Structures are given as C-alpha cells and as structure tokens.
Structure 1
Amino acid sequence: MSQSEKRSSVDLSHHLSDFAKTLPAIRPPGSNAGEGMIGMDGGVPDTEYFPIESITVEYLKPSAFPLKPTDVVPHGPGVLGWIANVLTGKGSKTTEASTGQFVIPRRLQPNDPSQFELKSALQYSAVTGLPAAEKTIHDWVARVHKPVCNDWTTLIDVGSSSGWMTCITILLNPGDSFLCDRYAYNGALMQARIRGMFPVAVASDTDGLSAVDLERVLANWDSKARGFERPRVIYTQGRHPEPQRSFDPCSAQEGFRYDLIIVEDDPYYFQQASLPYGSSAAPKKQTDEEWLDGLVPSFVRFDYQGRVIRLDTFSKSIGPGGRLGYFTGSPIFLDKLAVFNQGFIGFPSGVCQAVFGELLHRYETEGFTRWLRGITAQYELRRNWTIEALYKALDVRSTDNWSRSLTAFARADGQMSEKFTKTASLMSFVPPDGGMFIWFNIHLHNHPRYKDLARQSSPAAAKNQLSTELWTAVYDAGVTMRRGELFAVEDDEERAKAGEEDVFMRASFSSGPKESLEKGMQIFATTLVKFFQ
C-alpha cells in the first residue's frame, strides 16, 4: 500500500480509561532548557563522573546458526564454548561460527562507526528511548509489519509484561472486562485480575480466536446478567498463544465492527517453523527477504483505524535480561502509554538500548533477519527432538487424515489396569508450528478412576484431583511442566459445564541439550503410563 493510499487513525479517545484521561501531555526531560540556556533544574549527574570508559561487545555473526533444522549444533559450556569448539575444529562443520566486535565509547568521535555513546546511555533519557534506538525500531517495524495507518508510531518499553500492564491501565477501569482465548498467558490474566478487571473467554478454532464465537459473545451480551459492561478490548497472543493457535484476520474485522481495541501480544512472532512436524516436503529455498515477507502478518497490517496496540519484545530474539520491547500503534494510545511510563515506570535501560541498538545497527535488516531464521531453525529442531522422543516412548498415531493432531497410547507390551483398555488414549497434542511449547491434552476421561471420582464429587473436582496427582508425579520423577489450569480464563466448574473433561500440561523445549529433552520426555511418558494404571 502506497503512502498516499494510507489513512490516518480515527478518534478512539472514548476508549481511554478514566485514569488515562487525567494524564497530561508527555514532557520531554529538560524541555524548559532552550538553546544556550544553563540547565540547573534537575539532579542530573555530570557525565565526567561516570566510571565506565567504554563497553566492548563480542557478538555472533548473523549466520552463526544454520538455516536447516537438521543441522545439529553441538551444545557446550555456553555459546562461547561452542564457538571455541568450532573454531578449534572440535565442533560441527555445518555451521559458520564467527564473531564480530564493536565498542560503545564514552563519547562518539567524527566518523565513529558506532551509533551510541555511554555519555547518553548512562544518563537519564527520554521515556521514548535513545534517538538512535528509537529510529532503528521504527524502521524495523515499517519493514516487517507494514502498518497501514499513516500516523502509526512506536514506543520502546521494558518488555511485554510491563507493556500489557500499561495497556490495561490506560484502556480499562476497575470492573471492566476484556476478551481473550479460553486459555491465555497466566501472567497477563493475573495482572488484570488484581486490578479488578475480568477476562471473558472466547472459543478458538484452528485459525485462532473464533470469529463466530466472538460474534456470539458480543451480539448476545447481557450486562445485567454478567455484572459488567460489554468488553471493549481484545487481548490476543498472535501467532503462538496458549495452547497453540494461529492468526485469524476475521477476528480483527469483528474488532472494527464492535468498536473494539485489539492488544496483540506476540513474543514468539518470528519463531514460525519452516515445515509442520513430520512433513516430507523439502524446505523451501528462500532469501532472507522472502522469508520475512512470508511471515504470518500482524493485525497492524489490517488496522486502518488505529485500533491495534502491538507488543513486541527482544526477549526471544536477543535476550530477556535486556528488558527491552516496543509498542506499535496510533499516537492517541502510545502518547498515553509514554506519559504513564514516564511517571510510573521510567525510561528503559540506556545501556541495554545501546548494546541491543548497536547490535541491530551492525546486523542491519538483512543480518537480523538471517539471525532470526537461524535461531528459528534451532527451535524447530528442538521441537522435532522432543516429539521424536515421545514416539520412542509411546505409541503415537495420527488422529485423522485431515488434522495435524497426534494421539498417544501406551505401548502394547505395557501393563495397565483392568479398568483401562490399551485401546484407550492417554493424551493428544498438535505439534506446534512455532514458539517454544507443546501442549499435551491429557485424556482424563479415560483414566480408570475418573468416573468414580466424578460420581462421588463432581467432574470438576475429579479433574482437579487427577491433574494434581499427575503433575506431582511428573515433578517427583524429576521433570517440571506447567499445569494448563493456570492459563484458564474460566474456573473448573465453568469448564466442566462446557463439557471439558480433560486437562492440559505444557512442556517447553526451549533450552537444554538434546539429551535432556529426550530424557524429560521419557520420564514424562513413563510417568503418564503409570498414572493411568
């Protein structure tokens, strides 16, 4: 879409919370000091007294990891140990392991290749971020997401968790509600609930939040029966929510129709696997540009009214310790987010902005894209290792001929309870097409004690008891997983009334060597079979 075809965002100020409406316009630090004036109003330390003279960063080149998930990268004592192994001939020959280096000086000199200096990075700065970092992020969003409003902007923040908290503060009042998937990120739910805000569950289908169910919920909303007004905000986790779902542009269209604001929280956006698990197709040969253009689009690419606030983070692409992320959206919302951050959170770390920003400057768009492709292939490889380990430990079969769902059974040579037939399934799951997690749907309805427990108490109580027993058994065996109930929007009774008899357990394949992932799945499978005895 050309610039002339783009439209400005519409006036959505009626969506601001009562608190947000009281926030003043953002005031840049030192705004009272004009040209040639002596600033004596703030307690700003003299940069001559900063003890750090320079920071030298050694970094991996964009091509450090291979593009094919079949190319095994050995694990050693950290990344630097891996690099040393490769450089000394002890590691894999399938990767190009080379490093670059840059220096962030105290002061930039003429013709200095660096974009950042410690004089600014160590000093108080604007809540909007260091200018060079701000420009780098804005240019990246323009290239990747291609927002269609002509007045869109970006704002650096301290990560997605803080970003969501800030969003609900400027959009919702205590007692308000918001729409989300039936299973959503537990941290986001907790932040909203402790502020007296209510999540409202919307069913999902294979394409994400169901536009049909979204229409049903909104069209039939009864404020008196519910106890609160119809939701004005949708919280969506984009490409890889909880459990695995995908993108559905129809949900965005419902947002326009019902005057909704969409908060798109998408930390795993770039981790989109090249192929579904088990595919026999050869990976498609793509340039970095083609790969970037082939990513599932963000809602901001369809948002011609300024209704979307997108949250991105560097946690999964560079490192979570940097506590850096960024918003994308219309000025009416991002200006309020900025002034809230200025008064309550503060500016993002200048040192982290300098290090991450200089890295992105050295990488440039092409290099950072190549880096993302490489680490995405590594997470795809880890996914494959994890699922292959389950195939070895259990009898895993395709559920049907049209979906990607897999169902796991005990192996024929196992000893099971008389109440449990070996033809009954233990669990099912959909191999993720990205992200860092596999969601296992544990078939509690097949457990030999489920019906008796449900009859003695209730289906919800039976589920909770058996789920607790399984999680505890897996934990005692030496493996930690996350209980799916922690992500549930509805309580046990509501889910039971909806006919949900099973429970989820979430396993991460994001870290650790191959041997640990395989051992973890072996322990989980063994414990699961024993649990059903």
Structure 2
Amino acid sequence: MSPPSAIHVLPETDTSTFTIPDRLTLETIAKRRAASGKLVAGIAAAADVEQLKGRSSHAHKPLAKSWEHRFTAESKGRTGSSLKQAAKFLKTPGLISLGGGLPSSEYFPFEEVGFKSPVPGGVLRVSGTDGDADGNENGGVPLQDVVAGKHDMAEGKSDFDITTAFQYGQGHGAVQLLRWMVEHTELVHDPPYRDWSCTMTVGSTSAFDMLLRMFTKPGDWVLSEEFTFPAAQETAAPMGVRFAGVGMDEHGIRAEALDEVLASWDVKARGGPKPFLLYTVPTGQNPTGATQPLARRRAVYAVAQKHDLLILEDEPYYFLQMPPYDPSSPSNTTTSTPPSHKTFLATLVPSYLSLDRDGRVCRLDSFSKVIAPGTRCGWLTAPAALCARYATHADLSTQGPSGATQLLLFKLLEDTWGHAGYLDWLLHIRAEYTARREAILAACARYLPPDLVTWTPPMAGMFQWLRVHHRLHPDFLKGEKAAEEIEEAIFLRNVEEGTLLMKGSWFRAEREDEVHEVFFRATFAAAPAGQIEEAIRRFGVAVRGVFGVRGGDEEVGR
C-alpha cells in the first residue's frame, strides 16, 4: 500500500527526512485498518491503543507532560488485578486454560440478541420528531434488523459476539469497540501530542468519581464554572473535596476570572491547597447553555498552562452545536439539506483536546445525550500513563461498561453505521434539538415579560438559562425579601401552575454563598414543541404573579 499523502517534510537528521501525514479522515480509516490486518481480540483481550490509532500518524508530535506526581496514595497503591494480567496468555495458540475463573459461554442463556435501528443516512432523508402522518413513532425513518449471535466470531460473521462480550473483560473495555472510539477521537479531535490514549468509562459521572480518587484528597478544591453540574459537586463532597466557582458570562467560564482566582488563592482562608483540577463543560454547559468560542478556549488553556492545571473536559453536548438563532428567519432544520461530514466537523468549535499540546486535558466523551443515557458507556481520552492508571482503578471497581452494552454499541456503531453513519445520526439529532430550541425561544419571546426575564439563545445543548430581575420586585426594593426568597416563591408558584423549572441556586459551585442573582434552568430536550410552549406560558404566569403584575399573553390558551 502506498504511504499516506504528506503535507510537508521536516528534517530529521542531516541526511534524512520524515513526513507528517494528513490527519485521519473517513476515507483513510479503511486503508489504515487494511494495513493493520484483521483485528484479533478474544476474551479479556489487552488493548494496544498505539496500534489502534496508527503509530505513523503521531510520531512527529510532542510527548505529554507527566502527571504521576499528582496521583494520590490510593491511586499509587492500586496495582491492578493480578488475575486479569494473566489474560494476555489466552491468545497463545493451543493453550488449554484451567486458570481463569471464567464461566463457560455454553451456559450463557443467550443465543442471539437483536434490535432495530435507523438505516445509515436514512434519518437525514425523512423528518419528523413526533411521528409521521400514519402515526409511525419513528417518523417514517427506514429501519433495519441488527442481530448478534453467540458464535459470530468463530463463524466469521463479526469481530465481536456474545461469547466474548458477555464474558469477563478488561477495565479499558473490549478492544473491538475501543478501536471505534480511538478512531472517532482521532477523526474529530486529532490530539496534537503523541502519546494520547483512550479507555472506556461507565459514563462520565463514574469517570469523574474515579478521577477524583486518582487526584484529590480531603481538603482539596476543584475549579469549575460558578454555576455547574450538581452531580459533580455531589460526587466530590463525600470525599471532602470542594468546588471553587469561577466567574462566567454568556460565553462560559472567563479566563481572566480563572487567572484571578488562582493568582489570589489564599491557602489559609480557603483551608486547602491551590487547586490544579479544572472541571468544565465547554459546550452547551449545564445549566447555563453557554458554549465557549475558540478564542475563549485558547485563553482558558493559556491560564491552565500558566498555573499548571489539568483540565477535565466533560462534553456530553459537543455534537449538539447549533446554528445561530435568527428569530426573523427561523430555519426549517429538519428538512433542510444537511452539510457534508467534512463540513459538519469543520463547523464544530474545536475541543480543548484538539488544542492540547501538553497533555493536560482529560476529555470525557459520552453516549448519554446522543444515543441513550442507560447505555452507561463512554470513554476517556488523556495521556497514555493517565489512561493506564484509570484502567487499573476500573479493573478493581466497575470492571468497565456492561459487556451487553458494549456489544449493542459495537453492532450499531461498527457493524451497522460505521463512522459515516454515526455522523449522519449526529446531524439528524442536532437538527431535531435545534427545532426544539427554536420552539422554546419563540415561546420565551411570546410569553415572558421582557422587563422581568431575559435570556441568551444557547448555541448548543439542551438548556435555556433564564435570568429573573429580582431587584425589580416590590418587596426587594423595600428590603423585605432577599433574592433567594423571591426565587423560592417563583419556583413554588410555577409548580402550582403545573410546570417545573430548576432553581439556579441548585447549580452554584459554592452553595454556601448568599444568592445574589435569580436564575431558572429550562430544558427543551424531551417535551414536544406544544408542551414546551405551554410550560413557558405557565412560567410567565408564575413570574407575573409573584411580581404582582399582569399583561401580555399569559392568559392565552386558558
């Protein structure tokens, strides 16, 4: 096979050169696999991620910095599973194993498992979130049967089957699905350092829990946006780890605020050392919906370099990036011609991982918002030494995602859709969620009093962040009610009206601080457009009722 095309040549010695190959593309994935030979990965197979990602594509890149000095005593004490280390010998030809405590797959009561899934590309040809004219729940999207058998590998039908997937595995997950994750990461992000790696997670919350155990001890602090994902705080709190909020605006965390927090860190006042972990949701942030533009990410990364931070990039909403909202010309997002795969990837705001020349980013990818949260399967991309340490933790705790889940995802993403089909699916759901965003923004403009409630259209994700101007409340002006009391009154009145929005105070990184601003988080992810509109109408009624004002369209639909 001819070598990949080169973009330029750099001197290696006085008499030789080496080429820098183009980044991985959809067209070159098949060529790389062909050059690597058939994937052979049996029960509890060890993963050589360097082989999966292609060594020649990254040889010119710098190596990651080491984070081993940051590992906790607990992490350093984890030596891994001695029994699983013996699994590498299972591939020895002719070996009869009486060693591992593996149950016989002969007694697995599953001969085959199957499901129906959209035909690759079919979701882009047919629109309809809530069903078609004939009442089909799939909106007319063409479906296909996908089946996995117990002995598909032995019969040459697939690289993965029930016998292998339903058996004990390694903490890093099955090589068959891990290869897809590695290729996807390189295709989308192309990390700019050499020794990056991937390992599977049991979802991002579990991954965050494990990273805290690897890097923090009681009394430590983690940096985050001033409003952040509550489960992250609630994971850290029992470990004695606290969150330090960093100022943000409509574009997410502010680099200058991050620098100020770190530069002025008072160990005595804070009761803990200067933090080195930054937890951030850069795209469609939960709860604010903010998306950090490229310039902001570069500025934050520069602060991370200055203070030697490790960035935990939690990105469940990354592929739900949307076109700018234009109320004067709403786009028909579900029927317009989708962009090419190349154009789609080019329109995404580059990730922190794609900017990371140092190896100071741990990226958490998830299927929770783009396939199904119940899969409890995702992956971590980070320096190889960090991924290896993570897999050691997993070997003696979660043991990796469910084998059944891994097999279903493999059959969907590898055997059925492929990388191109997955991008088609992402384009489809991005269009569907964009239509829901348009619905909630139109409802906000129609039903919410603009002098009392303001908002910024989200550029990604599933959330609309609403600011209530509590300082205009008569009781606040008279000094009789605080912001938190007004927030509570609106929340309860809204429930009385028959709808639920989350209080902004529940998302504060530093919950012990006094509430100074009133926000509410609405999600446009699950409810159909008609219910979204009605819920926002009811919220408008609740706000006006608490403020003691009337007017507008709050009575429409009564």
| Matching of residues 450-465 of structure 1 within 5 Å | 450-452=476-478, 455-456=479-480, 462-465=482-485
* 2:452 paired with 1:445: no
What letter matches 1:506 in structure 2?
R
Query: Aligned partners of 1:252, 1:313: CA distance in 2, in Å?
Result: 22
Query: Aligned partners of 2:446, 2:156: CA distance in 1, in Å?
Result: 56
What's the CA shift string for 1:205-246, capped at 9, x where partnerless? 343321111111111222122211111111111212231322
- Structure 2 gaps, min length 5: 1-19, 22-57, 549-558
What letter matches 1:375 in structure 2?
I
| Matching of residues 108-119 of structure 1 within 5 Å | 108=152, 112-119=156-163
What letter matches 2:347 in structure 1?
G
Runs of 4+ aligned residues of structure 1 deviating over 6 Å after TM superposition are 281-285
What letter matches 1:31 in structure 2?
A
Query: Aligned partners of 1:388, 1:351: CA distance in 2, in Å?
Result: 42
| Matching of residues 8-19 of structure 1 within 5 Å | 8-19=63-74
Alignment match of 1:130 (pick from 165, 174, 179): 174
Name the residue aligned to 2:520. 505
Structure 1 116/526 Cα, relative in aligned 2: closer, same or farther at 3 Å?
Answer: same
Query: Aligned partners of 1:246, 1:318: CA distance in 2, in Å?
Result: 21
* 2:346 paired with 1:276: no
Q: How far does residue 33 in structure 1 lie from its aligned partner after superposition?
A: 4.7
Q: How far does residue 64 in structure 1 lie from its aligned partner after superposition?
A: 4.1
Name the residue aligned to 2:4. none
SS of residue paired to 2:69:
helix
What letter matches 2:534 in structure 1?
K
Cα pair 2:81 2:396 within 8 Å, conserved: no
Query: Aligned partners of 1:353, 1:491: CA distance in 2, in Å?
Result: 38
What's the CA shift string for 1:133-165, capped at 9, x where partnerless? 010111111101111111111111110110111
Name the residue aligned to 2:419. 365
Query: Aligned partners of 1:341, 1:285: CA distance in 2, in Å?
Result: 39
SS of residue paired to 1:449:
helix
Query: Aligned partners of 2:379, 2:115: CA distance in 1, in Å?
Result: 23
Name the residue aligned to 1:404. none
Name the residue aligned to 1:318. 371
What's the CA shift string for 1:342-388, capped at 9, x where partnerless? 11222211111111111111211211111101101100000111121
| Matching of residues 469-484 of structure 1 within 5 Å | 469-484=489-504
Name the residue aligned to 2:547. 532
What letter matches 1:54 in structure 2?
E
Name the residue aligned to 1:400. none
Structure 1 57/184 Cα, relative in aligned 2: closer, same or farther at 3 Å?
Answer: same
What letter matches 2:290 in structure 1?
R
Structural RMSD (CA): 2.4
SS of residue paired to 2:397:
helix
* 2:199 paired with 1:171: no
Query: Aligned partners of 1:156, 1:336: CA distance in 2, in Å?
Result: 12
Alignment match of 1:380 (pick from 427, 431, 434): 434
Name the residue aligned to 2:537. 522
Q: How far does residue 506 in structure 1 lie from its aligned partner after superposition?
A: 0.5
Query: Aligned partners of 2:122, 2:435: CA distance in 1, in Å?
Result: 15
* 2:447 paired with 1:427: no
* 2:239 paired with 1:195: yes
Query: Aligned partners of 1:337, 1:381: CA distance in 2, in Å?
Result: 39
Q: How far does residue 112 in structure 1 lie from its aligned partner after superposition?
A: 4.2
Name the residue aligned to 2:312. 263
Task: Kindly tell me the number of residue pairs found equivalent between the two proteins.
Answer: 479
Alignment match of 2:390 (pick from 319, 337, 348): 337
What's the CA shift string for 1:402-437, capped at 9, x where partnerless? xxxxxx43xxxxxxxxxxxxxxx2111111111011
Give TM-score, length-normalised by structure 1.
Answer: 0.85
Cα pair 1:483 1:505 within 8 Å, conserved: yes
Name the residue aligned to 1:416. none
Cα pair 1:60 1:98 within 8 Å, conserved: yes
Cα pair 2:338 2:427 within 8 Å, conserved: no
Query: Aligned partners of 1:227, 1:469: CA distance in 2, in Å?
Result: 35
Query: Aligned partners of 1:16, 1:46: CA distance in 2, in Å?
Result: 38
Q: Which moved more, 1:480-489 or 1:207-216?
A: 207-216
- Structure 1 gaps, min length 5: 87-96, 395-407, 410-424
* 2:142 paired with 1:98: yes
Name the residue aligned to 2:16. none
Q: How far does residue 255 in structure 1 lie from its aligned partner after superposition?
A: 0.9
What letter matches 2:422 in structure 1?
F
Structure 1 512/209 Cα, relative in aligned 2: closer, same or farther at 3 Å?
Answer: closer
What letter matches 1:40 in structure 2?
L
Cα pair 1:102 1:114 within 8 Å, conserved: no
Query: Aligned partners of 2:470, 2:159: CA distance in 1, in Å?
Result: 57
Name the residue aligned to 1:231. 275
Structure 1 359/493 Cα, relative in aligned 2: closer, same or farther at 3 Å?
Answer: closer
Alignment match of 1:181 (pick from 225, 234, 248): 225
Query: Aligned partners of 1:491, 1:9: CA distance in 2, in Å?
Result: 35
* 2:335 paired with 1:291: no
Query: Aligned partners of 1:428, 1:344: CA distance in 2, in Å?
Result: 45
Structure 1 179/284 Cα, relative in aligned 2: closer, same or farther at 3 Å?
Answer: farther
Alignment match of 2:106 (pick from 48, 51, 55): 48
Q: How far does residue 494 in structure 1 lie from its aligned partner after superposition?
A: 4.5
Query: Aligned partners of 2:265, 2:98: CA distance in 1, in Å?
Result: 57
Q: How far does residue 503 in structure 1 lie from its aligned partner after superposition?
A: 1.0
Alignment match of 1:215 (pick from 259, 274, 291): 259
SS of residue paired to 1:194:
helix
Q: How far does residue 488 in structure 1 lie from its aligned partner after superposition?
A: 0.1
Structure 1 492/199 Cα, relative in aligned 2: closer, same or farther at 3 Å?
Answer: closer
Query: Aligned partners of 2:347, 2:81: CA distance in 1, in Å?
Result: 37
Q: How far does residue 30 in structure 1 lie from its aligned partner after superposition?
A: 3.8
Q: How far does residue 263 in structure 1 lie from its aligned partner after superposition?
A: 0.5
Cα pair 2:247 2:257 within 8 Å, conserved: yes
Cα pair 1:115 1:358 within 8 Å, conserved: no
Q: How far does residue 172 in structure 1 lie from its aligned partner after superposition?
A: 0.9
SS of residue paired to 1:5:
coil
Query: Aligned partners of 1:237, 1:20: CA distance in 2, in Å?
Result: 25
* 2:83 paired with 1:63: no
Structure 1 66/473 Cα, relative in aligned 2: closer, same or farther at 3 Å?
Answer: farther
